[in-house]
A = this chain, B = another copy of it.
Amino acid sequence: MSIKLTILGFNSAIPKKKSAPTAQLLEIANRYFLIDCGEGTQVQLRRAKAKFSKINHIFISHLHGDHVFGLIGLISTLQLLGKETPLKIFGPKGIQDFIMNQLRHTQSNCSFEIDFIELEGKSSVKIFEDEKVEVYTIPLNHRIYTNGYLFKEKPKKRKLNIEAVQQYPEILTCDYDNLKNGRDFVLESGEIIPNEKLTLDPDPSRSYAFCSDTRYKPDIVPIIQGVDLLYHESTFLSDLQDMADYTGHSTAKEAATIAKDANVGRLILGHFSNRYNDLNVMLDEARPIFENTHLPVLFEAIKID
């Protein structure tokens, strides 16, 4: 499995009894990335049976409480659980002081290193890269400095066409890596076997874009072009467009327009205003523009293979 997204909360602003503020757990190429961390996220992680020990990277979109008030509690719990590996926290400039001041007042001696990567740029930049995954910022437009995040698998290796390879006894298993990396094979006779004859196209590299909170911002379209999965906030319906503009949020119509223009695979809406009891109104507004639109479901794993 390439990507598994578990939504831990998608409430806006005021926490409720049976839902939770924004937090998501993204598993991509076997890495665990936590995205946003509203109050109570650590309990939601428990409900999702997440392995706390695997959380080494946290991405915070912005410093509004419904996206970050659970972070200090999670850090505190990781400490009580004896975490030793470093924790990287990506978030807006100020997040280090925000957290460290709380740790200081609570007289916490962290058992692990916290590495804060503070963001303040206004254009999309790569903020994380390892062997298999890259993460980019998606600058958003909210009342406070905010980034979405784009998570991408790197291009994968080509797959061996075993039947084809076996026709050449000269090709040994120690050659396979070169083939997967796209190299041609040269026989002792000097004959060149083109790579395409020995390998198959790699599995597609999957991608996920998280965009919350934000006003309609069409200039993110090139950044998220063609992602397999997009989470885009839709706090309001279009009849409250003025309210959306004023509070720095999007409507369902706007979220769907972004999804359509970016030609994404699937759109998940979220961060709905508490005024909407029946969330199907969101789908009614979005689907005529982008059909593959869905509501978030707490703890339901969205998988992209």
| Size of A's binding interface in residues, CB under 8 A | 35
Are A97 and B102 within 8 A (Cβ)? no
Judge if A70 is at the interface, Cβ distance under 8 Å: yes
- Give the residues in chain B near A106, CB-CB below 8 Å: 63-65, 68, 144
Q: Work out how many copies of this chain go into the complex.
A: 2
Judge if A275 is at the interface, Cβ distance under 8 Å: no
A-B contact pairs, 18 of them (CB 8 A): A15-B42, A15-B46, A15-B77, A17-B47, A39-B40, A63-B107, A65-B73, A65-B76, A68-B106, A69-B73, A94-B105, A95-B105, A97-B101, A101-B101, A101-B102, A102-B102, A106-B144, A107-B144
Judge if A164 is at the interface, Cβ distance under 8 Å: no
Judge if A220 is at the interface, Cβ distance under 8 Å: no
- Give the residues in chain B near A17, CB-CB below 8 Å: 43, 46-47
Partner of A15 from the list B43, B72, B81, B144 (CB cut-off 8 Å) is: B43
Given A14-B80, A17-B46, A73-B39, decide whether A102 and B98 contact each other with a Cβ distance below 8 A.
yes
Q: Which of A39, A42, A46 has the most CB of B within 10 A?
A: A39
- Give the residues in chain B near A51, CB-CB below 8 Å: none
A143 to chain B, nearest CB (A): 8
